[in-house]
Structure 1
Amino acid sequence: MKLHSTLKRITMAMACAGLGHLAVAHDGKHTVGIQSPPTAKVEAPFDIFHTRITTEGNIATFHIAVSGKAGDNKPGKTGKLAGSTVFSYVWPTTMDPSVVGFEAKSGILAFAVTSHPDFNDTPLFAGGGGEWHSHWVVLRPDDTCGKGALKVVDIPEGSKPKLPKTWPGLPILIDSPGWNPVFKGKSLEVKVPFDDIGVVQTAGFDGVTAALRVNASVHNPLLCVADVFKVASGNLSLPGKVNQ
Protein backbone atom coordinates (compact mmCIF):
# COMPACT_ATOMS: atom_id res chain seq x y z
CA MET A 1 0.00 0.00 0.00
CA LYS A 2 1.39 3.42 -0.93
CA LEU A 3 0.31 5.29 2.17
CA HIS A 4 0.23 8.88 0.98
CA SER A 5 -1.43 8.24 -2.37
CA THR A 6 -4.01 5.95 -0.75
CA LEU A 7 -4.89 8.51 1.91
CA LYS A 8 -5.14 11.29 -0.66
CA ARG A 9 -7.54 9.22 -2.78
CA ILE A 10 -9.68 8.43 0.26
CA THR A 11 -9.85 12.08 1.25
CA MET A 12 -10.91 13.24 -2.21
CA ALA A 13 -13.53 10.51 -2.45
CA MET A 14 -15.10 11.50 0.87
CA ALA A 15 -15.01 15.23 0.02
CA CYS A 16 -13.32 16.24 3.25
CA ALA A 17 -13.44 19.87 4.31
CA GLY A 18 -10.63 22.30 5.15
CA LEU A 19 -7.31 23.44 3.72
CA GLY A 20 -4.23 23.18 5.88
CA HIS A 21 -0.58 24.08 5.81
CA LEU A 22 2.53 23.99 7.95
CA ALA A 23 3.29 27.23 9.75
CA VAL A 24 5.40 28.56 12.59
CA ALA A 25 2.61 29.68 14.93
CA HIS A 26 -1.12 30.37 15.14
CA ASP A 27 -1.72 32.41 18.28
CA GLY A 28 1.50 32.30 20.24
CA LYS A 29 0.42 29.22 22.23
CA HIS A 30 -0.16 26.77 19.41
CA THR A 31 3.28 26.47 17.87
CA VAL A 32 4.86 23.86 15.57
CA GLY A 33 2.85 21.16 13.85
CA ILE A 34 0.04 21.69 11.33
CA GLN A 35 -1.90 24.98 11.30
CA SER A 36 -5.34 24.90 9.65
CA PRO A 37 -7.64 27.81 8.74
CA PRO A 38 -11.12 27.73 10.30
CA THR A 39 -13.93 26.10 8.32
CA ALA A 40 -17.36 27.63 8.94
CA LYS A 41 -19.34 24.55 7.88
CA VAL A 42 -17.57 22.31 10.41
CA GLU A 43 -19.06 22.25 13.93
CA ALA A 44 -16.73 24.19 16.22
CA PRO A 45 -15.80 21.26 18.55
CA PHE A 46 -14.46 19.41 15.48
CA ASP A 47 -13.04 22.37 13.53
CA ILE A 48 -9.32 21.66 13.85
CA PHE A 49 -7.00 24.66 13.67
CA HIS A 50 -3.85 23.11 15.15
CA THR A 51 -2.38 19.59 15.34
CA ARG A 52 0.96 18.54 16.73
CA ILE A 53 2.94 15.68 18.27
CA THR A 54 5.83 16.53 20.57
CA THR A 55 8.13 14.37 22.68
CA GLU A 56 9.90 14.74 26.01
CA GLY A 57 11.89 11.81 27.32
CA ASN A 58 9.95 8.67 26.42
CA ILE A 59 6.58 10.50 26.36
CA ALA A 60 4.81 11.63 23.18
CA THR A 61 2.10 14.27 23.57
CA PHE A 62 -0.69 14.14 20.98
CA HIS A 63 -2.38 17.55 20.68
CA ILE A 64 -5.35 18.91 18.74
CA ALA A 65 -6.94 22.37 19.12
CA VAL A 66 -10.35 23.29 17.67
CA SER A 67 -12.39 26.45 17.14
CA GLY A 68 -14.93 25.60 19.87
CA LYS A 69 -14.81 23.62 23.10
CA ALA A 70 -12.95 20.38 22.49
CA GLY A 71 -14.97 17.30 23.38
CA ASP A 72 -18.21 19.25 23.72
CA ASN A 73 -20.13 17.07 21.21
CA LYS A 74 -20.73 13.38 21.87
CA PRO A 75 -22.91 10.92 19.92
CA GLY A 76 -26.40 10.22 21.22
CA LYS A 77 -27.14 6.83 22.73
CA THR A 78 -29.25 4.50 20.57
CA GLY A 79 -29.49 1.58 22.97
CA LYS A 80 -27.97 -0.96 20.59
CA LEU A 81 -24.58 -1.75 19.12
CA ALA A 82 -25.62 -2.21 15.48
CA GLY A 83 -25.68 1.12 13.65
CA SER A 84 -24.32 3.07 16.61
CA THR A 85 -21.99 6.04 16.17
CA VAL A 86 -18.46 6.80 17.34
CA PHE A 87 -17.13 10.39 17.43
CA SER A 88 -13.36 10.68 17.20
CA TYR A 89 -10.30 12.90 17.20
CA VAL A 90 -7.61 11.04 15.24
CA TRP A 91 -3.88 11.34 14.52
CA PRO A 92 -3.08 9.12 11.49
CA THR A 93 0.65 8.39 11.41
CA THR A 94 3.32 6.86 9.22
CA MET A 95 4.43 4.56 12.05
CA ASP A 96 4.19 0.85 11.38
CA PRO A 97 1.48 -0.92 13.42
CA SER A 98 4.13 -3.22 14.90
CA VAL A 99 5.32 -0.25 16.99
CA VAL A 100 2.38 -0.77 19.38
CA GLY A 101 2.05 -4.55 19.07
CA PHE A 102 0.04 -5.26 15.89
CA GLU A 103 1.21 -7.25 12.87
CA ALA A 104 3.76 -5.36 10.77
CA LYS A 105 2.46 -3.65 7.63
CA SER A 106 -1.16 -4.43 8.53
CA GLY A 107 -2.47 -0.96 7.65
CA ILE A 108 -2.36 2.69 8.70
CA LEU A 109 -1.60 3.14 12.41
CA ALA A 110 -3.63 5.92 14.02
CA PHE A 111 -4.02 7.17 17.56
CA ALA A 112 -7.60 8.14 18.40
CA VAL A 113 -9.68 9.65 21.19
CA THR A 114 -13.27 8.45 20.92
CA SER A 115 -16.73 8.53 22.52
CA HIS A 116 -19.42 5.90 21.87
CA PRO A 117 -22.12 5.45 24.53
CA ASP A 118 -23.60 2.24 23.09
CA PHE A 119 -20.68 -0.08 23.85
CA ASN A 120 -17.65 -0.32 26.11
CA ASP A 121 -14.23 -1.30 24.77
CA THR A 122 -12.21 0.26 27.58
CA PRO A 123 -11.23 -2.37 30.17
CA LEU A 124 -8.48 -0.10 31.58
CA PHE A 125 -10.56 3.09 31.59
CA ALA A 126 -13.16 3.49 34.33
CA GLY A 127 -15.33 6.02 32.49
CA GLY A 128 -16.79 3.55 29.98
CA GLY A 129 -17.29 3.94 26.23
CA GLY A 130 -19.43 7.07 26.47
CA GLU A 131 -16.62 9.07 28.07
CA TRP A 132 -13.74 10.23 25.90
CA HIS A 133 -10.98 7.60 25.92
CA SER A 134 -7.97 6.58 23.84
CA HIS A 135 -7.28 3.84 21.28
CA TRP A 136 -4.71 2.70 18.81
CA VAL A 137 -6.41 1.51 15.61
CA VAL A 138 -5.21 0.10 12.30
CA LEU A 139 -7.06 1.50 9.29
CA ARG A 140 -7.43 0.26 5.73
CA PRO A 141 -9.61 1.22 2.74
CA ASP A 142 -12.74 -0.89 2.18
CA ASP A 143 -15.34 0.07 -0.43
CA THR A 144 -17.95 -1.85 1.58
CA CYS A 145 -17.88 1.19 3.89
CA GLY A 146 -18.44 3.53 0.93
CA LYS A 147 -16.30 4.23 -2.10
CA GLY A 148 -12.77 5.02 -0.95
CA ALA A 149 -13.73 4.95 2.74
CA LEU A 150 -11.62 3.60 5.59
CA LYS A 151 -12.45 0.96 8.17
CA VAL A 152 -10.80 -0.36 11.29
CA VAL A 153 -9.23 -3.60 10.02
CA ASP A 154 -11.31 -6.68 10.82
CA ILE A 155 -9.89 -9.91 12.25
CA PRO A 156 -11.20 -12.86 10.19
CA GLU A 157 -12.83 -15.62 12.19
CA GLY A 158 -10.31 -18.30 13.15
CA SER A 159 -7.23 -16.16 12.51
CA LYS A 160 -4.77 -15.29 15.26
CA PRO A 161 -2.92 -12.09 14.34
CA LYS A 162 -0.34 -10.48 16.57
CA LEU A 163 -2.17 -8.12 18.98
CA PRO A 164 -1.23 -5.72 21.79
CA LYS A 165 -1.58 -6.95 25.37
CA THR A 166 -4.39 -4.44 25.96
CA TRP A 167 -6.48 -5.52 22.95
CA PRO A 168 -10.11 -5.30 24.25
CA GLY A 169 -11.34 -8.49 22.59
CA LEU A 170 -13.23 -7.00 19.64
CA PRO A 171 -12.64 -8.73 16.26
CA ILE A 172 -10.84 -5.67 14.86
CA LEU A 173 -7.31 -4.25 15.07
CA ILE A 174 -7.87 -1.95 18.04
CA ASP A 175 -5.98 -1.41 21.28
CA SER A 176 -7.34 0.16 24.49
CA PRO A 177 -4.19 1.23 26.37
CA GLY A 178 -6.01 3.43 28.90
CA TRP A 179 -4.03 6.65 28.29
CA ASN A 180 -6.15 9.49 29.66
CA PRO A 181 -7.23 12.31 27.29
CA VAL A 182 -7.20 15.77 28.86
CA PHE A 183 -9.62 18.41 27.53
CA LYS A 184 -9.00 22.06 28.37
CA GLY A 185 -10.98 24.72 26.53
CA LYS A 186 -10.18 24.41 22.83
CA SER A 187 -7.43 21.83 23.31
CA LEU A 188 -7.18 18.06 23.66
CA GLU A 189 -3.95 16.36 24.73
CA VAL A 190 -2.93 12.79 25.50
CA LYS A 191 0.45 11.76 26.89
CA VAL A 192 1.58 8.36 25.60
CA PRO A 193 4.72 6.50 26.76
CA PHE A 194 6.86 4.58 24.26
CA ASP A 195 9.62 2.04 24.76
CA ASP A 196 11.42 3.47 21.72
CA ILE A 197 10.61 7.16 21.38
CA GLY A 198 12.79 7.34 18.26
CA VAL A 199 10.08 5.70 16.14
CA VAL A 200 7.76 8.58 17.04
CA GLN A 201 10.31 11.32 16.46
CA THR A 202 10.81 10.26 12.83
CA ALA A 203 7.08 9.82 12.06
CA GLY A 204 4.75 11.88 9.90
CA PHE A 205 1.22 12.62 11.05
CA ASP A 206 -2.04 14.43 10.36
CA GLY A 207 -5.14 15.38 12.33
CA VAL A 208 -8.71 14.28 11.62
CA THR A 209 -12.10 14.65 13.26
CA ALA A 210 -14.65 12.08 12.15
CA ALA A 211 -17.66 9.90 12.90
CA LEU A 212 -17.43 6.13 12.60
CA ARG A 213 -20.37 3.76 12.49
CA VAL A 214 -20.85 0.17 13.60
CA ASN A 215 -22.14 -1.91 10.69
CA ALA A 216 -25.85 -2.73 10.98
CA SER A 217 -25.02 -6.43 10.76
CA VAL A 218 -22.14 -6.09 13.27
CA HIS A 219 -20.02 -8.07 10.85
CA ASN A 220 -17.12 -7.58 8.46
CA PRO A 221 -16.64 -4.65 8.19
CA LEU A 222 -17.42 -3.99 11.84
CA LEU A 223 -16.42 -0.33 12.14
CA CYS A 224 -16.38 2.10 9.19
CA VAL A 225 -15.35 5.74 8.91
CA ALA A 226 -18.75 7.13 7.95
CA ASP A 227 -18.19 10.90 7.95
CA VAL A 228 -15.01 12.98 7.99
CA PHE A 229 -15.60 16.38 9.59
CA LYS A 230 -12.18 17.91 8.94
CA VAL A 231 -8.62 16.99 7.97
CA ALA A 232 -5.90 19.23 9.39
CA SER A 233 -3.76 19.19 6.24
CA GLY A 234 -6.76 19.32 3.90
CA ASN A 235 -5.55 16.34 1.86
CA LEU A 236 -4.46 13.76 4.43
CA SER A 237 -0.89 13.89 3.18
CA LEU A 238 0.52 13.45 6.72
CA PRO A 239 2.79 16.50 6.46
CA GLY A 240 3.27 16.92 10.21
CA LYS A 241 6.75 16.32 11.62
CA VAL A 242 7.16 15.50 15.28
CA ASN A 243 8.71 18.36 17.32
CA GLN A 244 8.75 20.58 14.21
Structure 2
Amino acid sequence: MKTLKRTLVSAMLLTALAAQAHSSHTGGIHTPANPAIDAAFDIVHTRIAKEGNYAVFHIAVAGKAGQSRPSKVGTLAGSTAFSYVWPTTIDPAAVGFDHNAGILAFAVTAHPDFDDTPLYDENGDGNLNNDGDLWHSHWVVLKPDDACGKGKLKVVDIAPGAKPALPRTWPGLPILIDSPGYSPVFNDSTLEVRVPFADLGGRADLGFDGVTAALRVNTSVHSPLLCVADVFKVASGALTLPGKLGQ
Protein backbone atom coordinates (compact mmCIF):
# COMPACT_ATOMS: atom_id res chain seq x y z
CA MET A 1 0.00 0.00 0.00
CA LYS A 2 2.84 2.40 0.89
CA THR A 3 4.54 1.66 -2.42
CA LEU A 4 1.31 2.44 -4.27
CA LYS A 5 0.95 5.73 -2.39
CA ARG A 6 4.54 6.71 -3.19
CA THR A 7 3.94 5.87 -6.85
CA LEU A 8 0.78 7.96 -6.92
CA VAL A 9 2.50 10.91 -5.22
CA SER A 10 5.42 10.72 -7.65
CA ALA A 11 3.04 10.62 -10.60
CA MET A 12 1.16 13.65 -9.28
CA LEU A 13 4.39 15.59 -8.78
CA LEU A 14 5.59 14.76 -12.27
CA THR A 15 2.25 15.83 -13.72
CA ALA A 16 2.35 19.10 -11.78
CA LEU A 17 5.92 19.82 -12.89
CA ALA A 18 5.06 19.04 -16.49
CA ALA A 19 2.04 21.33 -16.34
CA GLN A 20 4.16 24.08 -14.80
CA ALA A 21 6.82 23.71 -17.48
CA HIS A 22 4.17 23.74 -20.21
CA SER A 23 2.49 26.84 -18.83
CA SER A 24 5.83 28.66 -18.65
CA HIS A 25 6.19 28.22 -22.41
CA THR A 26 2.69 29.26 -23.48
CA GLY A 27 2.09 32.07 -25.94
CA GLY A 28 4.82 33.97 -27.71
CA ILE A 29 6.95 32.46 -30.48
CA HIS A 30 7.74 28.73 -30.47
CA THR A 31 10.76 27.60 -32.48
CA PRO A 32 11.97 24.03 -33.15
CA ALA A 33 15.32 23.13 -31.60
CA ASN A 34 18.28 22.92 -33.96
CA PRO A 35 21.08 20.53 -32.86
CA ALA A 36 23.54 22.40 -35.11
CA ILE A 37 23.33 25.46 -32.81
CA ASP A 38 25.04 25.77 -29.41
CA ALA A 39 22.22 24.64 -27.08
CA ALA A 40 22.78 27.66 -24.79
CA PHE A 41 21.69 29.89 -27.71
CA ASP A 42 19.23 27.57 -29.46
CA ILE A 43 16.00 29.50 -28.88
CA VAL A 44 12.86 27.38 -28.51
CA HIS A 45 10.50 29.95 -26.99
CA THR A 46 10.34 33.75 -26.89
CA ARG A 47 7.73 35.81 -25.08
CA ILE A 48 7.03 39.20 -23.53
CA ALA A 49 4.24 38.90 -20.97
CA LYS A 50 2.57 41.60 -18.89
CA GLU A 51 2.43 40.81 -15.18
CA GLY A 52 0.94 43.63 -13.15
CA ASN A 53 3.09 46.73 -13.68
CA TYR A 54 5.89 44.76 -15.35
CA ALA A 55 6.71 43.41 -18.79
CA VAL A 56 8.51 40.07 -18.41
CA PHE A 57 11.00 39.38 -21.20
CA HIS A 58 11.41 35.61 -21.55
CA ILE A 59 13.63 33.38 -23.69
CA ALA A 60 13.95 29.59 -23.35
CA VAL A 61 16.70 27.62 -25.06
CA ALA A 62 17.36 23.94 -25.74
CA GLY A 63 20.24 23.83 -23.26
CA LYS A 64 21.31 25.84 -20.21
CA ALA A 65 20.72 29.56 -20.72
CA GLY A 66 23.72 31.76 -19.96
CA GLN A 67 26.16 28.85 -19.85
CA SER A 68 28.35 30.08 -22.73
CA ARG A 69 30.24 33.37 -22.55
CA PRO A 70 32.95 34.84 -24.80
CA SER A 71 36.63 34.20 -24.20
CA LYS A 72 38.64 37.18 -23.02
CA VAL A 73 40.99 38.69 -25.62
CA GLY A 74 42.51 41.37 -23.37
CA THR A 75 41.59 44.45 -25.41
CA LEU A 76 38.45 46.37 -26.28
CA ALA A 77 39.28 46.31 -30.00
CA GLY A 78 38.20 43.03 -31.52
CA SER A 79 36.44 41.83 -28.38
CA THR A 80 33.15 39.93 -28.45
CA ALA A 81 29.83 40.16 -26.61
CA PHE A 82 27.32 37.29 -26.49
CA SER A 83 23.70 38.40 -26.42
CA TYR A 84 20.11 37.32 -25.93
CA VAL A 85 18.04 39.94 -27.74
CA TRP A 86 14.38 40.95 -28.10
CA PRO A 87 14.06 43.30 -31.12
CA THR A 88 10.82 45.26 -30.73
CA THR A 89 8.49 47.63 -32.54
CA ILE A 90 8.77 50.16 -29.69
CA ASP A 91 9.82 53.63 -30.80
CA PRO A 92 13.30 54.37 -29.35
CA ALA A 93 11.87 57.63 -27.99
CA ALA A 94 9.98 55.57 -25.39
CA VAL A 95 13.24 54.87 -23.53
CA GLY A 96 14.95 58.20 -24.15
CA PHE A 97 16.48 58.07 -27.64
CA ASP A 98 15.37 60.10 -30.65
CA HIS A 99 12.10 59.29 -32.42
CA ASN A 100 12.56 56.68 -35.19
CA ALA A 101 16.30 56.36 -34.48
CA GLY A 102 16.26 52.69 -35.54
CA ILE A 103 15.10 49.30 -34.23
CA LEU A 104 14.84 49.38 -30.45
CA ALA A 105 15.99 46.08 -28.94
CA PHE A 106 16.26 44.85 -25.37
CA ALA A 107 19.39 42.77 -24.81
CA VAL A 108 21.08 40.71 -22.11
CA THR A 109 24.81 40.56 -22.76
CA ALA A 110 28.14 39.36 -21.38
CA HIS A 111 31.59 40.53 -22.51
CA PRO A 112 34.74 40.03 -20.38
CA ASP A 113 36.87 42.74 -22.04
CA PHE A 114 34.91 45.87 -21.12
CA ASP A 115 32.30 47.18 -18.69
CA ASP A 116 29.41 49.27 -20.01
CA THR A 117 27.31 49.51 -16.83
CA PRO A 118 29.23 52.22 -14.93
CA LEU A 119 26.36 52.93 -12.52
CA TYR A 120 26.14 49.37 -11.20
CA ASP A 121 28.38 47.00 -9.25
CA GLU A 122 27.06 43.64 -10.45
CA ASN A 123 29.66 41.51 -8.66
CA GLY A 124 29.50 43.53 -5.43
CA ASP A 125 33.26 44.05 -5.05
CA GLY A 126 33.11 47.85 -4.79
CA ASN A 127 34.51 48.38 -8.30
CA LEU A 128 32.00 49.67 -10.85
CA ASN A 129 34.22 48.98 -13.84
CA ASN A 130 34.93 45.23 -13.82
CA ASP A 131 31.54 43.56 -14.26
CA GLY A 132 31.22 43.16 -18.03
CA ASP A 133 31.69 39.38 -17.86
CA LEU A 134 28.47 39.06 -15.84
CA TRP A 135 25.16 38.98 -17.71
CA HIS A 136 23.49 42.40 -17.66
CA SER A 137 20.79 44.30 -19.56
CA HIS A 138 20.74 47.03 -22.22
CA TRP A 139 18.51 48.90 -24.56
CA VAL A 140 20.20 49.28 -27.94
CA VAL A 141 19.18 50.93 -31.21
CA LEU A 142 20.02 48.88 -34.30
CA LYS A 143 20.36 49.72 -38.00
CA PRO A 144 21.81 47.88 -41.01
CA ASP A 145 25.35 48.85 -42.03
CA ASP A 146 27.20 47.00 -44.78
CA ALA A 147 30.46 48.00 -43.09
CA CYS A 148 29.61 45.21 -40.64
CA GLY A 149 29.03 42.79 -43.54
CA LYS A 150 26.37 42.84 -46.21
CA GLY A 151 22.93 43.13 -44.65
CA LYS A 152 24.25 43.00 -41.08
CA LEU A 153 23.14 45.21 -38.21
CA LYS A 154 25.11 47.47 -35.92
CA VAL A 155 24.39 49.42 -32.77
CA VAL A 156 23.89 52.94 -34.13
CA ASP A 157 26.97 55.13 -33.77
CA ILE A 158 26.97 58.69 -32.43
CA ALA A 159 28.87 60.88 -34.88
CA PRO A 160 31.51 63.25 -33.45
CA GLY A 161 29.84 66.49 -32.41
CA ALA A 162 26.31 65.05 -32.67
CA LYS A 163 23.97 65.56 -29.74
CA PRO A 164 21.23 62.90 -29.98
CA ALA A 165 18.62 62.35 -27.28
CA LEU A 166 20.01 59.85 -24.76
CA PRO A 167 18.55 58.08 -21.69
CA ARG A 168 19.79 59.24 -18.30
CA THR A 169 21.51 55.85 -17.80
CA TRP A 170 23.47 56.06 -21.08
CA PRO A 171 26.90 54.60 -20.21
CA GLY A 172 28.98 57.15 -22.14
CA LEU A 173 29.88 55.04 -25.19
CA PRO A 174 29.56 56.75 -28.62
CA ILE A 175 26.66 54.49 -29.61
CA LEU A 176 22.92 54.39 -28.94
CA ILE A 177 22.97 52.12 -25.89
CA ASP A 178 21.40 52.37 -22.45
CA SER A 179 22.31 50.51 -19.27
CA PRO A 180 19.08 50.59 -17.24
CA GLY A 181 20.11 48.10 -14.56
CA TYR A 182 17.29 45.56 -14.93
CA SER A 183 18.52 42.25 -13.51
CA PRO A 184 18.45 39.15 -15.74
CA VAL A 185 17.45 35.91 -14.02
CA PHE A 186 18.68 32.60 -15.41
CA ASN A 187 16.95 29.38 -14.39
CA ASP A 188 18.16 26.27 -16.20
CA SER A 189 16.88 26.68 -19.78
CA THR A 190 15.20 30.06 -19.29
CA LEU A 191 16.17 33.71 -19.07
CA GLU A 192 13.75 36.32 -17.76
CA VAL A 193 13.99 40.03 -17.07
CA ARG A 194 11.28 42.11 -15.40
CA VAL A 195 11.00 45.62 -16.85
CA PRO A 196 8.59 48.24 -15.47
CA PHE A 197 5.82 48.50 -18.05
CA ALA A 198 5.91 52.29 -17.82
CA ASP A 199 9.50 52.17 -19.11
CA LEU A 200 8.20 50.79 -22.42
CA GLY A 201 6.15 53.90 -22.98
CA GLY A 202 2.99 51.98 -22.06
CA ARG A 203 2.94 50.29 -25.48
CA ALA A 204 0.44 47.45 -25.12
CA ASP A 205 0.55 46.71 -28.87
CA LEU A 206 4.28 46.11 -29.16
CA GLY A 207 5.67 43.42 -31.46
CA PHE A 208 8.87 41.49 -30.83
CA ASP A 209 11.18 38.71 -31.92
CA GLY A 210 13.96 36.72 -30.27
CA VAL A 211 17.60 36.57 -31.34
CA THR A 212 20.82 35.10 -29.99
CA ALA A 213 23.98 36.61 -31.41
CA ALA A 214 27.62 37.60 -31.02
CA LEU A 215 28.50 41.28 -31.36
CA ARG A 216 32.05 42.41 -32.07
CA VAL A 217 33.89 45.65 -31.35
CA ASN A 218 35.56 47.00 -34.49
CA THR A 219 39.33 46.46 -34.42
CA SER A 220 39.82 50.18 -35.03
CA VAL A 221 37.28 51.04 -32.29
CA HIS A 222 35.68 53.39 -34.77
CA SER A 223 32.41 53.73 -36.66
CA PRO A 224 30.86 51.22 -36.80
CA LEU A 225 31.91 50.58 -33.22
CA LEU A 226 29.74 47.55 -32.45
CA CYS A 227 28.53 45.15 -35.15
CA VAL A 228 26.23 42.15 -34.96
CA ALA A 229 28.89 39.79 -36.27
CA ASP A 230 27.22 36.37 -35.92
CA VAL A 231 23.53 35.55 -35.53
CA PHE A 232 23.11 32.18 -33.84
CA LYS A 233 19.33 31.98 -34.16
CA VAL A 234 16.25 34.11 -34.90
CA ALA A 235 13.07 32.92 -33.20
CA SER A 236 10.80 33.80 -36.14
CA GLY A 237 13.35 32.64 -38.69
CA ALA A 238 13.39 35.95 -40.56
CA LEU A 239 13.26 38.78 -37.98
CA THR A 240 9.63 39.59 -38.77
CA LEU A 241 8.79 40.55 -35.14
CA PRO A 242 5.59 38.49 -35.07
CA GLY A 243 5.29 38.24 -31.29
CA LYS A 244 2.67 40.31 -29.51
CA LEU A 245 2.77 41.43 -25.89
CA GLY A 246 0.75 39.06 -23.70
CA GLN A 247 -0.20 36.70 -26.54
TM-score, normalising length from structure 1?
0.87
Structure with higher helix content: 2
Q: Give 1 or 2 for the bigger CA radius of gyration.
A: 2
Matched with 1:108 is 103
Matched with 1:53 is 48
Listed as ranges, the gaps of 5+ residues in structure 1 are 1-25
Distance, in Å, in 2 between the alignment partners of 1:183 and 1:33 is 19
Distance, in Å, in 1 between the alignment partners of 2:50 and 2:30 is 19
1:11-36 alpha-carbon deviations (Å, 9 max, x no partner): xxxxxxxxxxxxxxx93431010000
Distance, in Å, in 2 between the alignment partners of 1:166 and 1:99 is 14
Could you say what secondary structure the match of 1:158 adopts? coil
| RMSD, aligned CA | 1.4
Contact 2:209 2:241 in 1 (8 A): yes
2:27 partner amino acid? V
Question: Is 1:155 aligned to 2:158, yes or no?
Answer: yes
Q: 2:89 aligns with which of 68, 76, 94?
A: 94
Q: 1:240 aligns with which of 218, 222, 243?
A: 243
Matched with 1:173 is 176
2:71 partner amino acid? G
Trace 1:24-173 onto structure 2 (pairs within 5 A). 27-127=22-122, 128-173=131-176
- 1:197 is displaced (CA, Å) by 5.7
Listed as ranges, the gaps of 5+ residues in structure 2 are 1-20, 123-130
Could you say what secondary structure the match of 2:203 adopts? helix
1:159 partner amino acid? A
Matched with 1:11 is none
2:29 partner amino acid? I
Matched with 2:14 is none
1:236 partner amino acid? L
Distance, in Å, in 2 between the alignment partners of 1:151 and 1:107 is 10
Matched with 1:18 is none
Amino-acid identity (%): 68
2:228 partner amino acid? V
Contact 2:82 2:215 in 1 (8 A): yes
Aligned pair in 2 of structure 1 residues 68, 196: CA closer, same or farther (>3 Å)? closer
Distance, in Å, in 2 between the alignment partners of 1:212 and 1:154 is 14
How many residue pairs match? The answer is 220
1:143 partner amino acid? D
Distance, in Å, in 2 between the alignment partners of 1:183 and 1:236 is 24
Distance, in Å, in 1 between the alignment partners of 2:145 and 2:199 is 31
Contact 2:70 2:80 in 1 (8 A): yes
1:225 partner amino acid? V
Could you say what secondary structure the match of 2:164 adopts? coil
Quick one: higher RCO (CA 8 Å, sep 6+), 1 or 2? 1
Trace 1:163-242 onto structure 2 (pairs within 5 A). 163-195=166-198, 199-242=202-245
Aligned pair in 2 of structure 1 residues 77, 195: CA closer, same or farther (>3 Å)? same
Distance, in Å, in 1 between the alignment partners of 2:236 and 2:175 is 27
Could you say what secondary structure the match of 1:138 adopts? strand
Could you say what secondary structure the match of 1:45 adopts? helix
Runs of 4+ in 1 over 4 A off after TM superposition: none
Contact 1:116 1:129 in 2 (8 A): yes
Aligned pair in 2 of structure 1 residues 220, 35: CA closer, same or farther (>3 Å)? same
- 1:201 is displaced (CA, Å) by 1.8
